[in-house]
Structure 1
Amino acid sequence: MKIAIYARVSTERQEKEETIKSQLEVLRDYAKQNSYSVIDEYIDDGWSGEMMARPELDRLRDDANKGMFEGVLIHSPDRLARNYAYQYLIQEELEKKKIKLLFVNHEISDNPEDQLMLGFQGLIAEYEKAKILERTRRGRLAKARRGQIIGSIPPYGYDYVKKTEKREGYYKVNESEASVVKTIFSMFVKDKKSLRGIVRELTLKGQKPRGGGAKWGRSSVARIISNTSYTGTTYYNKYYSCETENSQQKYRRLKRTGRRLRDKSDWIAISIPRIIEKTLFDQAQNQLVENMRLSPRNVKYQYLLKGMVICGECGLHFYGSPNHGKTYYRCSNRNKRFPFKKDCKASIVKTTTLDLLVWQSIAKAIQKPEIITEQVKRYQERHHTQQQEIQKELERTTSKLSKLDAKESRLLDAYSGKVISLDQLKEKVRVIKVEREALEQQRQKTESEGRSYPHNVVKGVRYYCKAISRRLNTLSFDERQTILRLLLNEVEINDQTVLIKGVIPVNTEHPVKERIAMAHSNTVSTTSCSLDPQVRVRRSLPAHLSQSNPDFPYRSHWK
């Protein structure tokens, strides 16, 4: 009898363990013992039995239609399919073509008893898979709750140390890769480089990704920047598997190839060594959002204030909208669809009018820097008062921490003197630990609010304005947009008033004059200005910068 051999393993791990090889050896021996003539072998390596669409199974079914063989030899029913419905469907399809199913571990005849047994085997295989999955799921959850690492493939920047009889596996920092991770965050946050720019720099420096590829991909860099693991905490149970919709891929090794984010309350935190400070990571996430908002993409029309205009009535962004050859800014509330209400009545604004108004307002502030410096001086006075309050708060928190240390010391003395039991000591120390952690968090928050204010801000503003004012009348569209994005947080439209909320770009790491020269050379490029967000002064400056325009009813104010 002419037969075909079909073999399947469901995971890459089984592939590596060569279970497919052992399957084939058994099948070939069985065919030889029964004097079967093997026409072809159909092997699905690493394909789930839950999937009906498998490349070699489809080839087998196509060849069955051509009448190439009289029987199909399989190790056991669960190798054909883990789902009983799929198993029955394939069996019926082959039987209609007079092709016999042969199993090494169970001979099947046409009598009702054998067919019933085959059905039971399919159901048991399906039940067994569900049971294995549930047992594995519960075991991994329990392991994660004990703070143990799940999986042996660490994020870039870490190595996985295999478990032994005495301890579980864990992540340790790979110093070489960790250095690259720090470089990526520094370039993204401090140098304001795009993902493409980071990829270019890494390639020029000869830094290769872990897989040894020729160059980095933007998606790989984006995953590193958004991975919370680098702050010292990784999460298990963060996603759940699901079937993807409208997939263009004909064959998928697994049924559920998509991932969806779980509710954050279901995430299980696992502590690992830290590579990036939390503040730097948070700044990177804000920068990702900002980059997405200001991304140029492929646009037909140019909008000088793209991503910067805010509706003062509803708080949503204005977006650029062309209409009969003219362009306008309009509130995105107008795009809402049922059941969301269009409850904003903000008027549309001509881009030429608003762009001109804002640019002239900025130009006036640059040419007359005292408009800004007067408000800087007032802010410095307020900042000094705030710093005094912050210092008092830090002293109070430090005092409370010292009292907790003394209390813990007294408890240890009481336990040594057998005044309290070990259980009582543990409970009281646990309470102290919780209080200490809360106070430490409060102290860190207070310290972050109490960052020192640069002393040379006024001088820096004057140098900055002088450097830009030299070229105000010769700047291109892209150069003007670059300067606006550097100097503005947002432009808020309230009825007949335009409120300009600005940023004072000051950096204390280098001399101000030197930084300005670097930031505004003849090119005024977006990548040449590396002003650190943590030392920028982001304050509203409520000084008037009135700008009248007889053709435009809006008035602009600096804030």
Structure 2
Amino acid sequence: MAGIAVRVFPGEANGRWMMRKAVLYARVSGDDRGTDGRNLDSQLEMCRAYAQERDYIIKVELAEDDRGASGAEIDLPQLNRVRDMAHAGEFEVLVVRELDRLSRNLAKQLIVEQELKRAGVDIEYVLGEYPDTPEGNLMKHVRATIAEFEREKIVERNTRGRRDMVRRGQIMLHGNEAPYGYQLSDDGTTLVESGPEARIVRLVFQWYTEGDETGKRLSSVGIAKRLTEMQVPTWMDLHRDSGGHKKRGYGEWSYATILKMLHSEVYIGTWHYGKHRPSGLNDRKDWVSMEVPSLISEETWEWAQKQSKKNRIMARRHTKTDYLLRCLLTCGRCGRSIGALTTRDGDKSYSYYMCYGRANHRLSPGDKCLLPYFRVDHVDAVVWEWVKSFLMDPKALIQGLEAQQKKTEESCHPARERLAAIEDLLADNHRQMERLVDLYLSGDFPREMLVEHKTRLEGIIEALEKERTNLVTRLEVQMITAEQVVTITDFARKIASGLDEAEKSFEARRRIIELLDVTGTLTEEDGDKVVYVQCVIGDKALSILPTFQNIVQT
């Protein structure tokens, strides 16, 4: 093997020589600052040099640009790919720039390390060497704890500083533009009225609460249509360089934009900071309010809220037709929900399932879904016949449940692997806690040092137990329990003899559909209308034919 450098694979007892295969992993997250030098290219360059020095065979370089998420996240596409490759035995070494590139959360970092270790993969850090010894693990935990503390301090310090600035009367837009109807003051400290847009805001509220020139009050849809006809530029039209994306054309308004404007408190002089977080809205008590010039009176704003509530109530449609699969269908073309409608032709009425993407008149022609309407009686009939086939055949019912359990078990395998890694880590940390008690009783170490180490271990154990609880809960929700199997089979036996009666009662059929958690997807294949239907005991593709025949496509 002249001219080729090789390294001994650690743990090879028979002395075989082989080169180690490595995966390089780099990551930037939402916690990283733009000036800290931790960009993806530099991380990969350092990892590449590290691997080449050790003559590793680089299988792949994975870059995780996840600046929209926290540095504590571990459920990420490239990191998940690392896990999959590790379980498949495709490499032996993961090379990472430093500890906090895996996660700035110590417990989650330990979970990743333990999961890869169980798959026979070593993790090597370019900046720091941590041997698998008690001392090496201690140093690694200390560094990881510091990284986690650093992340929390950065977030806390930045948040506190911004909130203090807002309380002192300094507007904080984070590089965004001012709300519609406003612009930044010359000194950049507050909002001031923007003439033309402010007049549009007042006009919107007037149309909604008082009416237009004819005295007719307009809905949010009507206002959007009127502004579009007038070709009034929207917020996105005025700020095309803001980085946002607008699907509609210039001067085209949506009813959602109008509703957002009608509910915004900024127009009565109260601007809020800290309303949103990545997972949704913060509690209102956590918002920081700042006074800005008002564009409308509080009375007008309150009247708009009452009118909005009234419009929602008046817009509700009380279902007068029986739709067996109401709210249980999705569109196979665009993924939107499927609605239902009934049309009348003289004394006759026809009911259809239709995609909201096609029926929504607010969408432009190019955005409309092309899924055709499905006759309700046709769809309901074939689905009900399929459900009856399970209920009337106990053997098929049991087979369906067993197949579904097997499918669910396979999908839960990665979560079970992670749960096993957490259990190993918990056992190891509990053993460390027991050793601390022995060291304390021996009196060989200062009490302060042992107390500090105990506090750190308790924090790790608490975080691991929380992660374990979340995983166990997720697995319990996904799995079909023995109790559910008994409930379904008992229910099937009880109603099998009375299916003829159930067919006469829509409520009874609907209860069966809900108990079996039946859902479906409407689509077209080769010109045929098809519903892909599934429930807790199986799934099939059913053709929708006028003769109500239930043809199973294989």
TM-score, scaled to structure 2: 0.46
* Pair member with larger Rg: 1
